[in-house]
Amino acid sequence: MDHPIICFGQQPCGFFPKRFLVAKILTARRLQKEIGGEIVFFFHDSDHDPRETITIMRDQHSGQEVALNFQFENRIQKQFSPLYAKRVLPNWQEKTARQLPSYVRRSLAEDFNETRSSNVADFCLEMYKRMSLLKGLRVERSSAPEFRARAVAVPDYFVDVRYEGEIVRARYRDGKLFLHKGGDRFLEIAGGEFGPKQISPTRDTRFCWMQSVIRCTHYVAGASEHHYINKADAPEVKFIKRDEISDSGKAYTEA
């Protein structure tokens, strides 16, 4: 290993990141001290699930928990648009900024108020940078056209297409495009021609798609990733379990 590449992946996971993401970062930094190399954050902002960005915090005085999330312009955008295409509403940011001093230190509330990003993924990434969590890390985004163009073709994937004025993430199956409406309900939508720059992987094809570009030597995996990543597809990669952290699903708001 002349040049180890230590990678971890995560969707945007709250405007203050969930603690399990911080655990991945700390694990990667610890490993870097041991073996050298660089750290790559695979930022999977092509995901569309609005639940990913729920941010759970605790009132500094009462101890009561609150779950905050972005607000969205319309139902189509909320349900089906990828996180990089879900727009940040100025009124939402102003309203949330007024609430934050009850939950976080003043400097963090000010960082939130000063962040200027047009979409949810950019907003989360900017906040992580302002919190100094990404210093020295290389960020690769699954939404980036140049990343997608370099990635290997996978048999199971989503396609970003226009639908009712919004960019949506539609599942491709048997030559057709579908939006998942919950349960066993799917809506078929018009497709048309598309290319690699519109494609992003499913959960089961995500690792090999990512690895074809990043070519990491070590991968810091979360608890669920250890169950669904097919490690036999990447015998060259050493998989590292992320360090434990308390309240892993809550927001990280520490210094």
Which tens digit of pLDDT belongs to each residue from 45-83?
999 999 999 999 999 999 999 999 999 999 999 999 999
- Above 90 in pLDDT, residue 130? yes
Q: How confident is the model at residue 2 (pLDDT cuts 50, 70, 90)?
A: confident
Instruction: Tell me the β-bridge partners of 168.
Output: 161
Instruction: List the domain boundaries for the chain.
Output: 5-241
Q: Would you place residue 226 in the very low, low, confident or very high pLDDT band (cuts 50, 70, 90)?
A: confident
pLDDT value at position 58? 95
